[in-house]
């Protein structure tokens, strides 16, 4: 079972950190480590050098890179790697987030409460837009991973001009809620709201239909336009987007559209 495989990977990541006495002050070390074990249990295939760059995983399937943010920093690496081997970029998006606060004075943990924010696959486009040209590289696959996690924060741990605020110090995944592989234009277009792929739309209309922030909708359009999945023209003062129908298949409809 995938859930059993993930829990085993998480246990190995936690034990490894405890054994080395590491504290995840950057907030996502446990998540990154757990996903490396999830995609490749053999630790000897982690952190391998290839063409002057370090790959998170290098095995018989190629390179797997796990990147939680700042995808723009991977541009050169992706271009070099994809010219040599197949590359999969895994980008986790937090679907549900439990918040747990640590009192630095007593060491006590608060009761877990659930953040009202819920992550969606579309959230990944805020990062994808920074590597939209690289997404067309041959042998490159992008994987959006929906993850449920607990975020541990130090109460009153960060000094600001407005006083003290909690400091995030670790993000511990609880499980994987879904995987979305983006390999071709059809995979990207299927993230559009149902029905919208058959009409012309603006960024604002996409945002309203999908119930997304306009900035996220704009990033989606920019990525799909760069890949050639959408076409765009100006009508008056606004840009209107349309799907290139040859790039998406509709189930149970045969060849007629």
At 36-80, the pLDDT tens digits run 999 999 999 999 999 999 999 999 999 999 998 899 999 999 999
- Higher-confidence residue of 38 and 14: namely 38
Domains of the chain: 2-183 (no CATH), 193-247 (1.10.10.10)
- Higher-confidence residue of 1 and 156: namely 156
Mean pLDDT of the chain: 86
- Higher-confidence residue of 88 and 165: namely 88
Structure tokens at 200: 């012309």
* Cα distance between residue 27 and residue 33, in whole Å: 12
- In our burial notation (b when 16+ CB lie closer than 10 A, e otherwise), range 153-185 reads bbbeeeeeeeeeebbbbbbbbeebeeebebeeb
pLDDT band at 215 (very low <50, low <70, confident <90, very high): very high
Average pLDDT score over residue span 185-212: 91
| Region of residue 56 (left: phi > 0; alpha: psi -120 to 50; beta: else) | alpha
Nearest 5°: CA angle at 93, between 53 and 132?
55
């Amino acid at each position: 079972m995938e859930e059993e495989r993930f829990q085993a990977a998480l246990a190995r990541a936690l034990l490894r950190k405890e054994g080395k006495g590491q504290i995840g002050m950057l907030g996502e070390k446990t998540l990154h480590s757990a996903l490396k074990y999830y995609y490749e249990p053999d630790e000897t295939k982690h952190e391998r050098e290839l063409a002057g760059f370090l790959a998170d995983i290098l095995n018989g399937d190629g390179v797997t890179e796990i990147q939680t943010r700042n995808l723009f920093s991977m541009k050169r690496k992706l271009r070099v790697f994809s010219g040599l081997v197949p590359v999969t970029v895994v980008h986790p998006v937090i679907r549900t987030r439990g918040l747990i606060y640590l009192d630095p004075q007593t060491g006590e943990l608060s009761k877990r409460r659930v953040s009202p924010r819920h992550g969606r696959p579309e959230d990944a486009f805020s990062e994808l837009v920074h590597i939209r040209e690289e997404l067309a590289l041959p042998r490159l696959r992008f994987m959006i991973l929906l993850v449920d996690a607990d975020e541990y924060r130090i109460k009153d741990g960060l000094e600001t001009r407005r006083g003290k605020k909690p400091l995030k110090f670790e993000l511990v995944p609880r499980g994987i809620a879904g995987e979305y592989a983006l390999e071709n234009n059809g995979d990207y277009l299927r993230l559009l709201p149902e029905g919208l792929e058959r009409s012309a739309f603006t960024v604002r209309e996409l945002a309203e239909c999908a119930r997304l922030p306009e900035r996220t909708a704009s990033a989606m359009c920019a990525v799909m336009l760069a890949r050639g999945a959408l076409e765009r023209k100006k009508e008056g003062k606004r840009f209107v987007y349309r799907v290139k129908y040859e790039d998406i298949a509709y189930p149970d409809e045969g060849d007629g559209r």
